[in-house]
Amino acid sequence: MNIAVAQSGGPTCAINASLLGVFKGAIRSDKIDIVFGSLNGIEGIINDDLIILNDYIKTYLDFEKLRQTPSTVLNSCRYKLPEYTEDASVYEKIVKNLKAHGIGAFFYIGGNDSMDTVNKLSKYLTEIGSDIKVIGIPKTIDNDLMITDHTPGFGSAAKYVATTVQEIVRDCSVYSINSITIIEIMGRDTGWLTAASAVLRANGEIAPHLIYLPEVHFSVQNFIKDLKRVQQSRRAVVVAVSEGVTLSEEDINSEFYNETSDEFGHRYLSGVGKTLENIVRKEIGCKVRSIELNVMQRCSSHLSSKTDIEEAEQIGVMAVERALKGESGKVMYFKRVSNSPYTVVIDSVDANEIANKVKYFPLGWINSSGNNVTDEAVDYIMPLIQGEQDIHYQNGVPIHFKLNS
């Protein structure tokens, strides 16, 4: 049989490592002939926009470049499948195109919304009696998927966040005047990635002095009080704040409350840092700046975590093995066995256990004041950022895998 693989959602440093894992798992099996790549996620299956990956991934250097390339080499999408009970036409297109290419298994690498697609498509295939397998492979820097201990992509993003925050701390500390620096970090409605800034404690770093996560309601009044308190002992105050911090009732009319949403109902989040910068300038009056890490935290492969990349590849290989054993409608996940030594096992779970559910940062890992995280958070994140990739360079910069080079 042949198989197909697609990538969906936001880019990460690890999603192409999972693609490589699927490809490796396929070429190692005598049951699989051709590996198709679906361009732009599930849209590629719907529109019959497929390529034969065997024609592109041929050499050892191809493997190495693909593993270290950030973003999604097959491109992505944010397409929301309708319920097949309401509109089966798109499902009929998918099945028609899969059958036309002799595809017996489809692997979808992505986050929460992608697992929604896995769940819906697998249910439809079961309903019509099809033996085509569908397996989800997790990926998101937000680390917000249920069941799995962590998601591929998070470790590398966390390593970038911690490293960059540390460098910002050095930059902020050079002048004798009082200053406040607010660093806005991604993570959607969860605080996992922002909490990663706290791992600097392991190296004796005190900053960031304040950390604000979406899991606790954010009060501008308390924020200003926190800053003034820290300023009594620190000349340069560094704050890490999640893009999705939740507003208190008195702040609900704040200018950074954004009503715009994507197709899955997620608010477009940005501008929290700049808004807080303006508030601090008005309320405190010292030198203040905001820094939005933005897309750099998703795709900075030169700072990727070796642990993250290796696990992302392994989970792709395991997904193929599970499909060949007859599993379908499943999502692969990590189960942490121990922290010291760090050990995980890879397993699968029904897609409906993950799709459309959110794993929030534990409230027990947030301090009682709601302005920092505990050492338990550091212990959880530390193993995920370990190790450095052996990056291949050309002319002084990393080389990337490109379909059309």
Q: How far is CA 148 from the centre of its chain?
A: 13
Q: Where are the beta strands (DSSP E) in 219-307?
A: 236-242, 246-247, 287-292
* Bigger pLDDT: 267 vs 332: 332
Do the domains spanning 2-152+301-356+391-398 and 157-298 agree at the CATH topology level? Answer: yes
Mark 185-196 as b/e (b = at least 16 C-beta within 10 Å): bbbbbbbbbbbb
Largest separation between any pair of C-alpha atoms in the chain: 71
pTM over 0.85: yes
Q: Is the separation of the CB atoms in 331 and 111 below 8 Å?
A: no
Beta bridge partners of 338: 343
CB crowding 36-75: b at 16 or more within 10 Å, else e: bbbbbbbbbbbeeebeebbebbeeeeebbbbbbbbbbbbb
pLDDT at 256 over 50: no
CATH of domain 2-152+301-356+391-398: 3.40.50.450
Q: Is the pLDDT of residue 255 over 80?
A: no
Integer CA distances (angstroms), 320 to 11, 15, 103, 106, 361, in order = 22, 15, 13, 9, 30
- Decide if pLDDT at 168 tops 80: yes
2 within 8 A of 296, measured Cβ to Cβ: no
Q: Which of 107, 158, 163 has its CA nearest to residue 321?
A: 107
Q: Domain locations in the chain?
A: 2-152+301-356+391-398, 157-298
Identify the band that residue 188 occupies on the pLDDT scale cut at 50, 70 and 90. confident
| Residue from 102, 20, 109, 107 nearest 309 by CA | 20
Residue-level pLDDT at 257: 44
pLDDT tens-digit series, residues 376-397? 999 999 999 999 999 999 999 9
Residue 259 has pLDDT above 50, yes or no: no
Q: For 33-82, write each residue's pLDDT tens digit.
A: 999 999 999 999 999 999 999 999 999 999 999 999 999 999 999 889 99
Question: What is the C-alpha to C-alpha distance for residues 79 and 81, in angstroms, rounded to an integer?
Answer: 6
Residue 248's pLDDT band, with cuts at 50, 70 and 90, is low
Q: What is the pLDDT of residue 117?
A: 96
Say whether pLDDT at 252 is over 70.
no
Q: Strands 342-350, 287-292: parallel, antiparallel or unpaired by DSSP?
A: unpaired
pLDDT of residue 246: 74
Q: Is the pLDDT at 107 greater than 80, yes or no?
A: yes
Three-state DSSP class for 89?
Answer: helix
Q: Read off the pLDDT band of 250 (50, 70, 90).
A: low
Is 87 catalytic? The answer is no
What pLDDT score was predicted for residue 268? 39
> Where do we find the tokens 């991934």?
57
Whether the pLDDT of residue 158 is over 70: the answer is yes
| CA 74/CA 308 separation, integer angstroms | 20
Q: Which of 113, 116, 142, 251 is catalytic?
A: 142
Q: What is the 3-state secondary structure (H, E, C) of 357-389?
A: CCCCCCHHHECCCCCCECHHHHHHHHHHHCCEC
**In angstroms, rounded to a whole number, what is the distance separating the alpha carbons of residues 81 and 96?**
16
As a whole number, mean pLDDT of residues 179-201 equals 96
Question: How many Å apart are CA 80 and CA 116, to the nearest integer?
Answer: 8
Q: What are phi and psi of 7, to 5 degrees?
A: -125, 145
Q: Residue 264's pLDDT is what?
A: 47
Pairing outcome for strands 103-110 and 236-242: unpaired
Instruction: Look at the domain 157-298 and name its fold.
Output: Rossmann fold (3.40.50)
